[in-house]
C-alpha cells in the first residue's frame, strides 16, 4: 500500500539516529530532522519551536525558507494553532493536527490558517510535542501538510519518528547545558573527552543508572558502559563517585543551576 511505511523509511530513521549520536550542535540536529521529514514527506514544510513563544519573540526555525515571514506573520504563527496557549493541551505521546485541536471550522476560520496557507500551502498543521511536560517552554515540531489532518502516510511516519525526535530534544538540551559553560568544553578538550562522553559524564553526575542513561540517549546499556569505561580511563578514576568528584574539581561539569 502506498501509504504504508517501508524498510527504507526505517533505514532512513536509523541513519538519522546515528547522525544524532555523533552531533554536538543542537541547531544542526533540528535542521537535519527538518530535512529528513521533507525528504520522506514531499510537499511539507517544517517549523521548530524550542523556546518560549510570544507574539513578538521566540526563535522560529523553518525549512524550507523560500521567503522570510514578516513580523506580523511570525506573530500569527507563534500565537496560533496547534501550539496556541503554549500548547499545554497538546499530548506528548502522539502527533495531533491543528484541525483536531481547534476543530475544523475554527481552524479554517483562523488567521493562522490564512497566513500559513499563503506561506507554505498549508491545509493543516501536525504538531509533535517533544518536551516531557516539565516546567519550561513547550518544545516541538510543526509539520505543515497539504491535506486536512495529513495523509495516512504522513501520520504514520510522524508517529514512528516521534520517539526519535523526543530523544533528539533531550540530547539538544544536554548539549545546550554544556555549551553554556565554556570551561566545560575546554576541560573536555584537555581530557580528550568526546561530546558523547561529556554528555554521559553529565548524566553520571545526575546519579542516573546506566539503563536510564541508555534510554535518555537512545543507546544500549552496553554502549553506555563503554563510554563510562572511556571516561574512567581518561580521568584516571575507578568508580562513579571518584569520577564525579574529579570532574567537578576539573570543571568538567556545568555549575548547579546552569540551563538544562
> Which of 38-47, 50-59, 184-193 is predicted with the least confidence, judged by mean pLDDT?
184-193
pLDDT at 178 over 70: no
What values do phi and psi take at 62, rounded to 5? Answer: -135, 140
Question: What does the DSSP 8-state code read for residue 250?
Answer: T
- Per-residue pLDDT at 66: 66
Question: pLDDT, tens digit, for every residue of 66-105?
Answer: 667 888 999 988 888 888 765 556 767 788 898 888 888 9
User: In whole angstroms, what is the distance from residue 213 CA to residue 207 CA?
Assistant: 10
Mean pLDDT of the chain: 82
User: In whole angstroms, what is the distance from residue 10 CA to residue 224 CA?
Assistant: 23
pLDDT at 43 over 80: no
- Per-residue pLDDT at 49: 87
Q: What are the grid coordinates assigned to 169, written together?
A: 530534544
What values do phi and psi take at 136, rounded to 5? Answer: 125, 175
- pTM reported for the whole predicted model: 0.67
Confidence of residue 184 (pLDDT cuts 50, 70, 90): low
Question: pLDDT, tens digit, for every residue of 109-134?
Answer: 999 999 999 888 889 999 888 887 77
| 84 contact partners, CB below 8 Å, separation of at least 6 | 101, 102
Question: Given 3-state DSSP classes, what are the helix, strand and coil percentages for the chain, each rounded to the nearest 5?
Answer: 55, 10, 35
- Per-residue pLDDT at 257: 46
Query: Is residue 252 a contact partner of residue 200, using CB atoms and an 8 Å limit?
Result: no
What values do phi and psi take at 5, rounded to 5? Answer: -80, 150
Question: pLDDT, tens digit, for every residue of 209-220?
Answer: 898 888 877 788
Confidence of residue 233 (pLDDT cuts 50, 70, 90): very high
User: In whole angstroms, what is the distance from residue 71 CA to residue 77 CA?
Assistant: 10
pLDDT at 259 over 50: no
Confidence of residue 64 (pLDDT cuts 50, 70, 90): confident
Domains of the chain, CATH where assigned: 7-166 (3.30.450.40), 180-249 (1.10.10.10)
Amino acid at each position: 500500500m502506498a501509504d504504508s511505511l517501508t524498510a527504507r523509511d526505517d533505514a532512513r530513521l536509523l541513519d538519522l539516529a546515528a547522525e544524532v549520536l555523533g552531533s554536538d550542535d543542537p541547531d544542526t540536529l533540528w535542521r537535519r530532522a527538518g530535512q529528513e521529514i521533507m525528504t520522506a514527506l514531499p510537499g511539507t514544510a517544517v517549523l521548530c519551536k524550542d523556546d518560549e513563544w510570544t507574539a513578538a519573540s521566540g526563535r522560529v526555525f523553518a525549512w524550507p525558507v523560500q521567503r522570510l515571514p514578516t513580523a506580523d506573520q511570525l506573530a500569527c504563527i507563534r500565537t496560533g494553532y496547534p501550539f496556541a496557549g503554549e500548547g499545554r493541551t497538546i499530548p506528548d505521546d502522539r502527533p495531533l493536527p491543528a484541525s483536531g485541536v481547534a476543530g475544523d471550522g475554527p481552524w479554517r476560520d483562523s488567521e493562522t490558517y490564512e497566513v500559513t496557507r499563503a506561506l507554505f500551502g498549508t491545509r493543516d498543521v501536525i504538531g509533535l510535542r517533544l518536551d516531557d511536560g516539565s516546567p519550561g517552554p513547550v518544545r516541538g515540531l510543526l509539520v505543515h501538510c497539504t491535506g486536512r489532518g495529513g495523509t495516512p502516510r504522513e501520520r504514520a511516519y510522524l508517529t514512528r519518528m516521534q520517539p526519535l525526535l523526543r530523544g533528539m530534544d533531550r540530547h539538544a538540551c544536554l548539549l545546550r547545558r554544556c555549551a553554556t559553560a565554556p570551561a566545560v568544553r575546554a576541560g573536555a578538550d584537555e581530557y580528550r573527552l568526546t561530546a558523547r562522553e561529556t554528555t554521559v559524564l553529565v548524566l553520571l553526575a545526575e546519579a542516573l543508572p546506566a539503563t536510564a542513561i541508555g534510554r535518555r540517549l537512545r543507546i544500549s546499556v552496553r554502549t553506555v558502559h563503554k563510554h563510562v569505561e572511556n571516561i574512567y580511563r581518561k580521568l584516571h578514576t575507578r568508580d562513579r563517585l571518584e569520577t564525579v568528584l574529579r570532574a567537578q574539581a576539573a570543571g568538567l561539569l556545568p555549575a548547579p543551576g546552569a540551563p538544562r
